[in-house]
């Protein structure tokens, strides 16, 4: 069951990084320059990948 | 053009998973014979085929597509992020590369292989678990792109490729550049997931579908940059 969960969702860190990036994108979308979301989200994702690679 | 990328990403991603499943089935086959091991793998593939048909049919018939798109994108993001991060870590030397021969030896060392029923279950579970990732890619990319059949075809083509090469070599497919494939597929899945996630949240991509190759290039070039940066840091620390 644990292996199945990890296969489908990954680790808690992966979920936290993805959720954080989505949160930042939502903030950008509702901010003064919604167009920024298209840059904020991928940048957050790449930063998250760097973090996950280290841990 | 995005459809070609989807089919290629599915094929390459499925190749990685089927190679890992083949290693397990091969290790089990040496204990209980090819016929029994193939039955176990076949049963797992049947379960996966049933899951693919059910998942695709269910998701395709849900009328409100926006939230389904969000869920599918979330799965692709989780999956792509994991693969990209793992490939970056391995590329930078922070984690050892995946070793099919070591995996094969680990399965061979499993005491359960002496019992026919337990060995059959090892082959079944191994194929099912590795195949679950293929199932996820096929259903997510197939439903979202409305090209479920060619996407499923790409996964089947990958399976046939691995079976053909495996049958020819009769040993773990250790020379497959697994990390490079994971890196490319991770970047591609992350690009598709990012594109559809922001779309589901109401964002309109300025370039339309043209944003997809730009996103993939951003993740792959960024990933290469991270590998170089982390490798330098590892070198300095050593």
Report pLDDT for B162.
94
- Distances from the Cα of B147 to the Cαs of B9, B34, B178, B209, in angstroms? 13, 35, 26, 16
For chain B, percent of residues with pLDDT exceeding 90: 61
Distance CA B136, CA A12 (A): 19
Residue keyed to tokens 């690009």: B191
Decide if A37 touches B, using CB distance below 8 A: yes
Distance CA A20, CA A47 (A): 11
Q: In this structure, what are the phi and psi dihedrals at residue B22, rounded to the nearest 5 degrees?
A: -60, -40
- Distances from the Cα of B99 to the Cαs of B7, B72, B103, B164, in angstroms? 26, 31, 6, 21
For residue A44, give the 3-state DSSP assignment: helix
Helix axes B178-200, B2-32, angle to 10 degrees: 130
Q: Pseudo-torsion of CA B88, B89, B92, B96, nearest 10°?
A: -130
In the predicted model, is pLDDT for residue B16 greater than 80? yes
Q: For chain B, give the mean pLDDT.
A: 89
With 0-12 / 13-18 / 19 or more C-beta atoms within 10 angstroms meaning exposed / middle / buried, residue B92 is buried
In the predicted model, is pLDDT for residue B238 greater than 80? no
What's the rounded mean pLDDT across residues B11-28?
93
Q: Pseudo-torsion of CA B137, B143, B146, B149, nearest 10°?
A: 60
Its pTM stands at: 0.88
The predicted-structure confidence for B177-235, as pLDDT tens digits, reads as follows 889 999 999 999 999 999 999 999 999 999 888 899 999 999 999 999 999 999 888 77
Kind and range of the H or E element at A12? helix A12-29
Report pLDDT for B176.
81
What's the rounded mean pLDDT across residues B132-149?
88
Report pLDDT for B237.
66
- CB contacts under 8 A, A 12-31 vs B, are 14-15, 17-18, 21-22, 25-26, 29
The predicted-structure confidence for B141-191, as pLDDT tens digits, reads as follows 888 888 889 999 999 999 999 999 988 887 878 778 889 999 999 999 999
Distance CA B225, CA B20 (A): 28
The residue with greater pLDDT, B81 or B63, is B81
Report pLDDT for B56.
87
Q: Do A14 and B78 touch (CB under 8 A)?
A: yes
Decide if A53 touches B, using CB distance below 8 A: yes
Report pLDDT for B31.
86
pLDDT confidence tier of residue B67, bands split at 50, 70 and 90: confident
The residue with greater pLDDT, A1 or B108, is B108
Report pLDDT for B236.
64
Q: Do B203 and A52 touch (CB under 8 A)?
A: no
The predicted-structure confidence for B94-110, as pLDDT tens digits, reads as follows 988 888 888 888 888 88
Report pLDDT for B2.
56
Q: Pseudo-torsion of CA B190, B191, B192, B195, nearest 10°?
A: 120
The predicted-structure confidence for A7-30, as pLDDT tens digits, reads as follows 778 889 999 999 999 999 999 999
Choose the mutation target among B20, B81, B88 for the interface with A, i.e. most A CBs under 10 Å.
B81
Report pLDDT for B228.
94
């Amino acid at each position: 069951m644990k292996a199945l969960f990890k296969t489908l969702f990954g680790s808690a860190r992966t979920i936290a990084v993805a959720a954080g990036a989505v949160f930042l994108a939502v903030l950008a979308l509702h901010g003064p320059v919604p167009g920024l979301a298209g840059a904020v989200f991928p940048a957050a994702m790449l930063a998250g990948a760097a973090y996950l690679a280290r841990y | 053009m995005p459809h070609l990328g989807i089919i290629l990403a599915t094929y390459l991603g499925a190749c990685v998973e089927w190679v890992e499943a083949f290693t397990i089935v091969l290790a089990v086959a040496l204990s209980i014979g090819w016929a029994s091991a193939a039955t176990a793998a076949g049963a797992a593939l049947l379960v996966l085929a049933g899951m693919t048909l059910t998942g695709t049919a269910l998701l395709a018939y849900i009328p409100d597509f926006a939230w389904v798109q969000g869920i599918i994108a979330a799965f692709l993001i989780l999956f792509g992020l994991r693969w990209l991060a793992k490939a970056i870590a391995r590329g930078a030397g922070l984690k050892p590369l995946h070793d099919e021969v070591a995996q094969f030896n680990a399965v061979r060392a499993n005491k359960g292989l002496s019992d026919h029923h337990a060995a059959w279950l090892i082959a079944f579970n191994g194929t099912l678990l590795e195949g679950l990732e293929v199932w996820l890619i096929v259903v997510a990319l197939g439903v979202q792109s409305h090209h479920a059949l060619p996407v499923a075809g790409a996964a089947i083509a990958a399976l046939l490729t691995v079976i053909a090469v495996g049958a020819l070599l009769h040993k773990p497919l250790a020379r497959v550049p697994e990390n490079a494939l994971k890196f490319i597929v991770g970047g591609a899945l992350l690009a598709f997931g990012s594109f559809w996630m922001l779309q589901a949240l109401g964002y309109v991509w300025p370039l339309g579908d043209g944003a997809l190759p730009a996103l993939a290039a951003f993740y792959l070039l960024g990933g290469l940059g991270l590998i170089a940066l982390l490798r330098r840091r590892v070198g300095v620390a050593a």
